[in-house]
Amino acid sequence: MMDLKKILQERFGYANFRLGQEEVIRHVLDNRDTVAILPTGMGKSLCYQLPGSIMEGSVLIVSPLVSLMEDQAMRMRQNGEKRVIALNSFLPFNERKRIIGQLQNFKFIFISPEMLSQEAFARKLNGLLISLVVVDEAHCISQWGFDFRPDYLRIGEFLKKGNRPPILALTATADEKVLNDIQRYLRMEKPIIQRHSLDRPNISYSIREVNSAFEKTAWIKERVATTVGPGIIYASSRKRADELAMELQLEGVAVQSYHAGKDQEDRSIIQEQFLNGELEWICATNAFGMGVHKDDIRQVIHDHLPPTIAAYIQEVGRAGRDGRQAAATLLYVPADEHTTSFIIQSDMPSEEEIRHYNTMISEGHPSEKAAELASLTETGKRVIDYYTERYSLNDILLRLKGLADEKTEQLQQMMHLIKSGTCIRQNALSYFGESCQSKPDECCSNCGLGTSDWLQESENRKSAKERVSWDERITILLG
What pLDDT, in 10s, does the model give residues 186-210? 889 899 999 888 899 999 999 999 9
- For the chain, what percent of residues have pLDDT higher than 70? 91
Burial of residue 174 (CB within 10 Å: 0-12, 13-18, 19+) is: buried
Query: Could you tell me the end-to-end alpha-carbon distance of the chain, in angstroms, rounded to an integer?
Result: 63
Q: Is the pLDDT of residue 157 over 90?
A: no
Compute CA 320 distance to the chain's CA centroid, rounded to the nearest angstrom: 16
Q: Cα 35 from chain centroid?
A: 17
- By residue count, the chain amounts to 479
Residue 346, SS3 per DSSP: helix
Greater confidence (212 vs 155) lies with 212
Same fold, 4-195 and 203-337+414-478: yes
Q: Dump the DSSP string for 123-149.
A: HHHHTS-EEEEEETTGGGGG--STT--
Pick the CATH number of 4-195 from 3.10.20.10, 3.40.50.300, 3.20.20.70, 3.60.15.10: 3.40.50.300
Spell out the domain ranges in the chain.
4-195, 203-337+414-478, 340-403
pLDDT tier at 73 (50, 70, 90 boundaries)? confident
Q: Model confidence at 147, in pLDDT bands (50, 70, 90)?
A: very low
pLDDT tens digit string along 241-251?
999 999 999 99
What is the rounded distance in angstroms from the CA atom of residue 238 to the CA atom of residue 283? Answer: 9
Which has the closest alpha carbon to 428: 312, 266, 292, 276? 312
**What is the residue-wise DSSP string for 400-436?**
HHHHHHHHHHHHHHHHHHHHS-S-HHHHHHHHTT---
In the DSSP assignment, the letter for residue 13 is: -
Q: How far is CA 376 from CA 114, 347, 364, in A?
A: 20, 8, 17
Third-level CATH fold of 203-337+414-478 = Rossmann fold (3.40.50)
Q: List CB contacts of 280: < 8 A, sequence separation 6 or more.
A: 229, 230, 231, 253, 254, 255
Residue 133 confidence (pLDDT) above 90 = yes
Whether the CA torsion 259, 261, 264, 270 is positive or negative: it is: negative
Mean pLDDT: which of 38-42, 137-141, 223-227, 287-291 is highest?
223-227
